[in-house]
Structure formats: C-alpha cells, structure tokens
Amino acid sequence: MLKVDAIDKGIVLDHIKANHSPQVFHYLGLADMDCPVAIMRRVKSNKLGVKDIIKISDKIDIDLKVLGYLDPDITVNIIEDGKTIEKKKLELPEEIVNVEKCKNPRCITSVEQEIDHIFRLADREKRIYRCIYCDSAAPKR
Amino acid sequence: MKHLIDPTDLTLNEIDDILALAERIISDRPAYAEVAKGKKLATLFFEPSTRTRLSFEAAMLELGGSVIGFSSADSSSTAKGESVADTARTVEKYADIIAMRHPKEGAPLVASMNVDIPVINAGDGGHLHPTQTLTDLLTIKETTGRLSDLTIGFCGDLKFGRTVHSLIKQLSRYENIRFILISPQELQIPDYIKDEVLIKQHKDFREVERMEEVIGELDILYMTRVQKERFFNEADYIRLKDSYILDMEKLKNAKQDLKILHPLPRVNEISVEVDKDPRALYFAQAEYGKFVRMALMMRLLHLAEPQGKGEGTC
C-alpha cells in the first residue's frame, strides 16, 4: 500500500472525488507555490469508495474559496504541530474568476482573450452562476 | 450610480429621480441649455444605430455640451484589432462621459471597468439597452400621468425582444400593473422572466395569441416586430401574422385613451394609417428618449440644475 507521511503543518484536502485532484491542484494555483504538495489518487474510502487527497505542507494561507464551487463536499483540515486544529466548512463563493469559460459566442469574452472570465452567484439554492458580461449561466458541475 | 450598464443598476428612487428631472427639462428646455457647457460626450458606436446615437448626441447638444465619436467599428481602431478596454482608456482622455453600443454582450461593462468617467450602455447586442427602458418609462409616465394601476399589453416577439424583458422587469417594481402578453406560442416570453419576475412577484399576467381578444382592456399597447424567420413553419406564420399587425380596424375596439408604443424601427407591424391616430405615440416616444438621456447624463456627470429648478446638485 502506498504511504505518504503525515504533515506537521499545512492543509489536507480530503474526500476529493476520485480523479478530481489534478483539477483542484490547478485551480488552487498549487503549481506556482514553492511548498511541498502530495497528490494521492484513487485512495480507498469508506465514504466514497475511492477518493483523492491533497496534502499541502508548510502553508496554510491559501485562498480556498474556489473549492466551494468545485466541490463543497471536500473536507479541509488545517494542520499545526501534527494535529488538526480546524476543519473548514466550504461555502459557495460569491464570484469565481477564470474557473469557467463563458460559452456564449455573443459574449465579449469570446472575442477578447485577455478579459477575465468572471461568474457571480445568481441563485444560491440552485447553485447557478452567471457571466457578469452576458448573464449566461455557467455549466452545471 | 457611477455608470449605467444594466437597468437593474438603478434603484426605484434613482429611476423616479431621473424621470422627474426629465419632466422638469421638458417643461423648461431653455433653462437647461447650458448646464453641460464644456462637457464632452463620446458616442462609441461599434454598430449602426439611428435613434439611439442621434438622441444621445442631441441630448448633449441641448444641454450645451459637445459630442465626439464614431458610428461604426470600421471607422475606429477596432478595425486594427484594438480592445474595448484600450479604446475606452484612450477616449477617457478626450471626453467626460461615454455612450457605447457594441454588438458583443458585455462590451460596455468591460469599458466601465477600465475607466473613471461614466459609461452608458447604449445597447450591447441582444442583451441590455437600459436607456430604451428609461425612455419607455418616461413615455408611459408623461402620457398617462402614472407608472402604476395600468394594464399593459406587450405584442409580437416577446421571446427575443430585450426591450420587452427589461420593461417588464422594471414595471414589476410598481404597484398594480397587469400584464397581457400577446404572442404566438413560438415567441412567448421566456420561462425565466415568467418564473423569476412575474410569478415570483405575484404579478397579474396572462398570455394570449391574438391581439383582437384583449385590445379593449389595454391602457398601453407596446408593439414589437414579429419576424417571419422566427416561426417554425410557414403555415403558422400565415395563420398568425395578421394578429400582430396593428391597423385601424383593430383599434376600433381599443380604449380612446390607449397609448401605442414601439421601440422602433417599425417595419410593417403598425400600419402607417395608425400614425395619424392621436393614440400613436411611438414618434413622441423617440423624443422622450432624448429628454431622459439629458436627465441621465446630468445625473452621471453630477451637473447642477439651473437656479430655482429641482433640488440643486445631486
């Protein structure tokens, strides 16, 4: 069985849907950070059957808001001195930037590549996000 | 209010304030002839328009300001590949306020995010056209004396008509408005307007296929154009097309104080014989568009009203 050591300080993202960890890695911008990161894919899970886990060592000041959009069921554990000191509850972010691309061919983002693709939460209950430029709904996840 | 991009950017109080200012301008135009002296409006029209561009320009000229701009993408640096943001940043150095029309949805919003001067959305594709909505509201208020207790019929293409969607949303904010939505099944109002506006706000509305059934009930008839290509088949178009053309025959059953509105351009959906009827207000509506744009620009530029008018500076 594959073993990854416990971390002394950092963040453990648990219960990521199987095979979704590369996406989480990408949207958190972990490739641009200089801290050690372990990605575990298809780990056995009582809850999910199989799951992914990401361990981020040495760093706890990461903007995790996008996780609420990607998958609100991800468990976020903040680790200090080898112990979980906080379990963060994920909420839907009010705004997501460059996470989704607007698919409306009439939207200004379809012709001007340098514009950020920004979606705002329009309906919390139905989890609908709309493009701030053209009001098109973001694709359902 | 720094910019006007979406009609919902405006609170009800801000709308009422703009309409009231427009009414004061109408009642004493010479008094406002120099309030924008030294101010420049840039009309950045990336696609053709008659009424909207000319009414913006006339509005600024009537306030004593001046106008610069272009009226097609071909005559701007867009033809060389310049972005909307860069065009706006450049124009900001030459003008005090921008009115922008663009075929792409959201382009005026992009401009507003990149400049410090006010930007007015003068139509972004089929998306939003907030000054048309203000024009419609002013026309209704000026000609009926109120924005409540009205039965309003919207007729024609209610599916794709952005002016209709926007006006329904705004009128829903006023008391005791009855909506009668007259359209072929193919061109009925989209579900999201029904669900998120009319049903959610418990508005009195009903949908019918024929104008003849309801014309006698209406205080306002808002006409739009029905295009043949919107129908799924020729037979339906032939069966229904006459129901969406207003003529003197249909007007026989209408109230004597009915107000007929149309955002224009008209093609054939209102017979020219109706133009002479005092109930036809669509050309007056185009003039109200100028007055409401004068009021809007005064507010966005924080221009003082002439002494003895209104409440002074805003």
**pLDDT score of B312 more than 80:** no
Confidence of residue B83 (pLDDT cuts 50, 70, 90): very high
Concatenated DSSP letters for B167-185? HHHHHTTSSSEEEEEE--G
List the catalytic residue out of B51, B173, B230, B279.
B51
Confidence of residue B314 (pLDDT cuts 50, 70, 90): very low
This complex has an ipTM of 0.86
pLDDT digits (tens, 9 = 90+) for B239-255: 777 778 999 999 999 99
Task: Please state the CATH superfamily assignment of the domain spanning residues B131-280 in this structure.
Answer: Aspartate/ornithine carbamoyltransferase (3.40.50.1370)
**pLDDT score of B147 more than 90:** yes
Tell me whether B107 touches chain A (CB under 8 Å): yes
Catalytic (active site) residue B129: yes
Confidence of residue B308 (pLDDT cuts 50, 70, 90): confident
A29: closest CA of chain B, how far (Å) = 25
Find the distance separating the first CA and the last CA of chain B, reported in whole Å.
Answer: 11
Tokens (6 digits) for B195: 């669900």
Catalytic (active site) residue B266: no
Tell me whether B102 touches chain A (CB under 8 Å): yes
Strand partners, A55: A12, A38
Going B245 to B145 to B158 to B289, the CA torsion angle's sign is: positive
Q: What domains are defined for chain A? A: 10-88 (3.30.70.140), 95-131 (no CATH)
Chain B residues within 8 A of A110 when measuring between CB atoms: 104
Instruction: Tell me if A132 and B106 make a contact (CB, 8 A cut-off).
Output: yes
Query: Count of CB atoms within 10 A of residue B293's CB?
Result: 29
CATH of range B7-128+289-300; options 3.40.50.1370, 3.40.50.150, 3.40.50.300, 3.40.50.10860: 3.40.50.1370
Classify residue A107 by its DSSP letter: B
Residue ranges covered by each domain of chain B: 7-128+289-300, 131-280
**pLDDT score of B234 more than 90:** no
Catalytic (active site) residue B101: yes
- CA–CA separation, A98 vs A62, rounded Å? 17
Tokens (6 digits) for A25: 């890695």
Q: Which of B253, B251, B185, B252 is nearest to B223 (CA)?
A: B251
Residues A42 and A18: beta-carbon distance below 8 Å: yes
Segments in chain A below pLDDT 70: 1-2, 141
**pLDDT score of B151 more than 90:** yes
B297 vs B82, more confident = B297
Mean pLDDT rounded to a whole number for chain B? 92
Instruction: State the pTM of this model.
Output: 0.88
List the catalytic residue out of B40, B53, B101, B141.
B101
